[in-house]
Each structure stands twice: as structure tokens, then as C-alpha cells.
Amino acid sequence: MKPELDTRTKIVLAAMDLFWTKGYNSTSIADILSRTQLNSGSLYHAFPGKQDVLIAVLEAYRDGLYPNLLDPAWQGVEDPIDRIFALLDRYRWLIVETECTYGCPIGSLALELHEADPVVRNLLAVNFTGWTRAIEACLDAAGDRLPVGLDKAALAQFVLTTMEGGVMQARTHLDVTYFDRGVTMLRDHFDMLMARAARRTELI
Amino acid sequence: MKPELDTRTKIVLAAMDLFWTKGYNSTSIADILSRTQLNSGSLYHAFPGKQDVLIAVLEAYRDGLYPNLLDPAWQGVEDPIDRIFALLDRYRWLIVETECTYGCPIGSLALELHEADPVVRNLLAVNFTGWTRAIEACLDAAGDRLPVGLDKAALAQFVLTTMEGGVMQARTHLDVTYFDRGVTMLRDHFDMLMARAARRTELI
DNA sequence: ATTCTGCTAGAACGATCATTCAAATGCCTC
DNA sequence: GAGGCATTTGAATGATCGTTCTAGCAGAAT
């Protein structure tokens, strides 16, 4: 933990990691304090309570979508459809790197928090929407390579579904091939869509 | 809670419901005791500890797959591909019935339990496998309506992915259409696969 | 009737939880 | 250097957690 960071930032960074690896309920304030080398007074000076730390974490994920996830994943990848699978490949890398214990932090929190506060639930939704909107932009950029009239928002959500489902099964089975097979299915789906679009444009 | 049930069954039934609605960590032993009207001595006579209750719950889900889920969902539905979408429709019904707070109990537990005991993790995997195997049997029964050489296990896992991803997003957005759009995408996928299979068989 | 056995009642335990607070400290301003 | 404000310290609090334990109970076997 860099010492030049202010208290609030230190707490958010530590909480991002702890909520991700242990979950929200299983992470105690004491965990955050020992990780950051802070005392409870400092934390409760920066945040009214534990849930407000969670809110700050979700805001950080929201604001970090491009700088922390998409920009690195898309570096050197220009083709919009390649970008979609480059992003999925980044998740694959995270799964392998964590020996199949990786879980999407947003997805894990979304399923862990059963009776979530409206503010928390909305931030989870905003995080999902940010992700799918980025995919949707790729689909738009693909132009006529995809069929006209395709519900791009629905397909973008389906990409998220593929990622979340693959991560869930890979972690449960401790086997990354469960993720891979999902991506292969999605790849087939895109290939069939692109073949359909190509057939249509030929007709004109 | 039926009084004629034995202690162990009463606990498992109550725990199934509580783990499902509140999650494992957020369900206390006291919750189970007040729900079952039992005392802690009885619970700890039937189970060594809380995790063993979880194990019994997961075993109950495993054993209840057909009688509690698939058989009712497939009553009156004979076509194997219709059965797949009839099952998804049952999940849709659950989502609507719970006002979009429904979460697949297995999926929720799989993402909540980050450092799960090997026995627990394996039971989660077994539950997933039971589900996908049932779907795979439908795909097998579909015969040549699907392309030859299709990876049916992968497609079955993809059906599970569609369900879990749809449930996750529907609950997070409190909007069942997120589930519906996932099913529509999967329907498209099946239609394209069946069209491909039909084209191939014509050639012969 | 008595002993044994399986089960239950419910108080109690120590650990851990999120949170509070009075006192101490650092830091900027004047 | 003095005063004032923001921040930190770290012990204390009460609630709740999973779990334990002893005493008691019911029913079957002897």
C-alpha cells in the first residue's frame, strides 16, 4: 500500500481487493484495517459505515472500467469484434492467473448481496450497463458485418452472460475449459450471425 | 413446517429456503432455529456444524433435481428442444414470482463461497453437472435436428450459462426482460444450428 | 420399576462483528 | 508561538455469531 495515498483511497483499494477475494460479508472492518495499517477511527472518519465503503468500491469499479479493464484489454486490437473476444480472453487470463478462483467482482457481489440497499443495487446495475454498453459500441462499429435489425443491446448482454456464466462454472469446477467452451459457443454464434449478414448483403 | 418431519429434514428444508433468500453467511444458526422452532441442542445433535447443514442442503438439491425441478417443468412437454426452453421458462416464472429477486440457489452459493471447502465446492459442481447432463440428454434426443459433430456438452453448459447470466442480470436490474433477451439469443442460436443441420441433411 | 439410549431444552461461552468516542496528534493560519 | 481544525489513536461497547454443555425428557428394553 503506497504511503502517499490518502486514507480514503487506501481503504477503497484494500476493500476492492478484499471484497473480491473474500466477498463483502466475509470481509470484516478489521480485515480492511490490518491491510491498510489504519485504525478504526480513521476509517469511520472517512466513511459513515461499511456499506459506504462498498459504495465507494462500486464507484471505483464504475470509473475504472476503461482505464483498468477495457483500455489494457484492447491495446493493439482495433477490430471491434476482435475486441469483444480480446476482452473475454483477458478474463480467461485472470481465471488462469488465479488458478480458477477468479470471480467477476461485480457478479460475485450481485449474487452475494440478496437484500441489497437500493443505492448498492443500482451501482451494480450501472457497472453491468457500463460493461455491456462498451460491447454494444463494438457491435455498432462492426457495421454491416452483423445482420441489420440485430438487437445489439441484447447481444451485448449475452456477451456479459457468457463471461459471467463461464467464470462461474470455471471456478466451481476449477477448470478453465468451462470458460473456454462458453467462448467457443459465443464465437460460433458470431460466425453464424456474420454469415447471415454476408448472405443478406450479397442479395442486394 | 410440518410437525411429522424429523429434525434433520426440518432443518434441511428451512436451511434450503434461508440460504436461498439470505445467502449462507447471512443466515445464522439462530435463523434456522427460530424457523424450525428447534433448540440449538437439537441442531447440533443432527449436524456437527453449520457447514454440514450446507452440505445436506446441496445434497438435497442434487437429489431433488428431477422430482422438484425437471419433472414439473417438463410435464406435458415431449419435444427435447422444447424441454430446454420449457425449463428456462420455469426460471422465468420464478423470477417473475419473486419480483425479480430470484437467484439460482446453486449459482448464488457458488459465487458467495469464495474459499469453499472441497466437499462443498464439489457438491456445487455436482449440482451443475446434473443440470447440464439433463440438458445434454435433450440435445442427444434431438438427433439429427442438430448438426453432426456439435459439442453437445458445451452447448448444454451454454444453456446453463444463459440461465445463470440471465438470472443474475434480471435480479440486478430488477427487470425480467434481461432474462428474456438472453433466452431469445439462445433461441436464435438453436435456430441457426437447426438450420445448419437441415442444410447438411439436404445435401445427402 | 429400572436402566439405558436417543433426543431436546436452553443457558452460557468465547470469538468476532460493526461501531463509538474521548483523548492525542499533526498541520495550517494568524 | 498560539489557536483551531482535521485527522488519527486505540480502547471500549453492545450485539451477534457458531458452538458447547449439562440437565432433563421420552420411550424401549430388561
What would the DSSP string read from start to end of B21-90? HH-STT--HHHHHHHHT--HHHHHHH-SSHHHHHHHHHHHHHHTIIIIIIHHHHTT--SHHHHHHHHHHH
Tally of residues, chain A: 204
The Cα B103–Cα A86 span in angstroms is 29
Average pLDDT rounded to a whole number, residues A169-175: 98
Residue A29: nearest nucleotide (C-alpha to C1'): C18
The Cα A79–Cα B2 span in angstroms is 61
Do residues A136 and A106 both lie within one domain?
yes
Do residues B192 and B173 both lie within one domain?
yes
Helix (H) or strand (E) holding A80: helix A80-97
Q: How far is A23 from chain B (nearest CA, A)?
A: 7
Do residues A114 and A51 both lie within one domain?
no
- Percent of chain A exceeding pLDDT 90 equals 94
Model pLDDT, residue A200: 75
Domain end, chosen from B17, B33, B54, is at: B54
Do residues B98 and B120 both lie within one domain?
yes
Model pLDDT, residue B5: 87
The Cα A152–Cα A81 span in angstroms is 13
Whether A52 and A120 have beta carbons less than 8 Å apart is answered as no
Domains of chain A: total: 2
- pLDDT digit string, tens, across residues B48-89: 999 999 999 999 999 999 999 999 999 999 999 999 999 999
Nucleic strand C contacts from chain B, 37-56, CB < 7 Å: 38-42, 44-46
**Residues of chain A with C-beta less than 8 angstroms from the C-beta of B179:** none
Q: How far is B121 from chain A (nearest CA, A)?
A: 6
Do residues A13 and A96 both lie within one domain?
no
Average pLDDT rounded to a whole number, residues B181-187: 98
**Three cell numbers, residue B123:** 457438491
Do residues B149 and B79 both lie within one domain?
yes
Q: Is the ipTM of this complex over 0.85?
A: yes
Model pLDDT, residue B1: 41
**Residues of chain A with C-beta less than 8 angstroms from the C-beta of B110:** 168, 171-172
Q: Is the CB of A42 under 7 A from strand C?
A: no
Average pLDDT rounded to a whole number, residues B27-52: 98
Residue B118 lies in a domain: yes
Q: Is the pLDDT at A1 greater than 50, yes or no?
A: no
Model pLDDT, residue A2: 45
Which residues, in sequence order, are CB contacts of B196 under 8 Å at separation 6+?
A192, B147
| Protein CA at B93 to nucleotide C1' at C16, angstroms | 40
Do residues A172 and A78 both lie within one domain?
yes
Could you tell me which of B88, B86, B8 has the C-alpha nearest to residue B52? B8
CB < 7 A from strand D, the residues are A 6-7, 38-42, 44-46; B 27-31, 40-41, 44, 48-51
Residue A1 lies in a domain: no
The domain of A20 spans 7-59
Write out which nucleotides of chain C lie closer than 7 A to a protein Cβ.
7-12, 16-23
Residue A68 lies in a domain: yes
The Cα B43–Cα B59 span in angstroms is 18
Closest CB to B164 among A112, A115, A165: A165
- pLDDT digit string, tens, across residues A88-135: 999 999 999 999 999 999 999 999 999 889 999 999 999 999 999 999
**Three cell numbers, residue B33:** 432455529
Residue B13 lies in a domain: yes
- Percent of chain A exceeding pLDDT 70 equals 97
- Residue B203: band (very low, low, confident or very high) from pLDDT cuts 50, 70, 90: low
**Of A115 and A71, more confident:** A71
